Amino acid sequence: MASVSAPMRVTHGLVRWSPCGRYLAAASGNRLAIRDALSLQIVQRYSTVDEVQTLVWSEDSQLVLTASLKRAVVQLWSVQDASWTCKISEGVAGLVHARWTPDARHVVTVSDFQLHATVWSLEDPTARCSIRSPKLAADGLSFSSNGDFLAVAERHDCKDFIGVYSCESWELTTHFSIDSYDCVEIAWSPDDGTIAVRDTHLEFRVLLYSPDGTLLAKYQAYENALGLKTMTWSASGQFLALGSYDEHLRVLSHINWKPVADFDHESIAVTKSHTNQAAVREK
């Protein structure tokens, strides 16, 4: 029989399951609690330097990242070893974003005003890599699914570029300009064969590039109206779903980058309300 746990104090909705599903991390103010997912008993309890605004698990479920953006400080915490901790400070450069790399042994931070992105190593505290002029924060960083490469949307001389970096050496492997007016998001496909670029909100434009910089296709559903709000790849990488301001969902096929489906948001909502007992009413 289903049961409901006792309430837990949380701020900013910062509750995260570990990737393995065994732990639950929750932040309240400057407090971090790591609980066992089944019993909800506290495994570790930590105090951070300031209010937690970002909470992210490492891919191996062994470490938790917390960030205080206003203090420009990132702290790392261990599930197993309460004596181990790590602190990263961006100082006067500020901090707008922090995330793990797929190997769970590096952290990427983006400074205020996107002046630079920095890759910090946990294994060698003296080793770090600086990436100049990242254009965006979270939406401008995308790892390949195998964790070998990092694609970064960059801005140089009033032009958008993508830099592809090796996650082993953090050296630049490919750098190419993209045919965008104002790139707002990049996303690497799960099959690692394509990097999708979502262009300006003011027009409907999506660009598809191979990792070596070859332009594979452009897709534009309509003109002279607000464009894309969001995009996401299917798990196989064979389809790209595009949500736009005209309240349509279009699905592109990787074969010819043409739409294989076009759903109207209103019809989707009506269909779901008829087929499910629990429905959400939109206002």
Res 3: pLDDT: 76
Same domain, yes or no, for 126 and 158? no
Same domain, 124 and 20: yes
Residues 160 and 199 in one domain: yes
105 and 180 inside one domain: no
Helix, strand counts (H, E) of the chain: 1, 24
Given this model, what pLDDT does residue 127 score? Answer: 84
CB-based burial, 43-74: b 16+ in 10 Å, e otherwise: bbebebebbbbbbbbbbebbbbbbbbbebbbb
Continuous segment of H or E residues that includes residue 266: helix 265-275
Q: Determine if the pTM surpasses 0.85.
A: yes
* Residues 99, 199, 236, 244, Cα dihedral to 10°: 110
pLDDT of residue 279: 43
Query: 145 with 124, same domain?
Result: no
Residue 2 is predicted with a pLDDT of 63
Same domain as 155, residue 118: no
Residue 266 has what pLDDT?
74
pLDDT at 1: 56
260 close to 251: Cβ distance less than 8 angstroms: yes
CATH number at residue 119: 2.130.10.10
Q: What is the pLDDT of residue 4?
A: 81
Asked if residue 172 and residue 245 are part of one domain, the reply reads yes
Whether residues 159 and 275 fall in one domain: yes
Select from 132, 162, 192 the last residue of a domain: 132
* Tally of domains in the chain: 2
End-to-end CA distance of the chain: 35
**Spatial contact of 182 and 200, defined as CB atoms under 8 Å apart:** yes
10-residue block means of pLDDT along the chain (283 residues)? 79 95 97 96 97 98 98 98 96 96 97 94 90 95 97 96 97 97 97 97 96 97 92 96 93 96 73 42 44
Kindly state whether residues 100 and 181 are assigned to the same domain.
Answer: no
Residues 22 and 61 in one domain: yes
pLDDT at 112: 93
Residues 78 and 172 placed together within one structural domain of the fold: no
Domain hosting residue 53, numbered range: 1-132
Separation CA 45–CA 33 (nearest Å): 5
The residues, any chain, with a CB within 8 Å of residue 1's CB and separated by 6 or more, are none
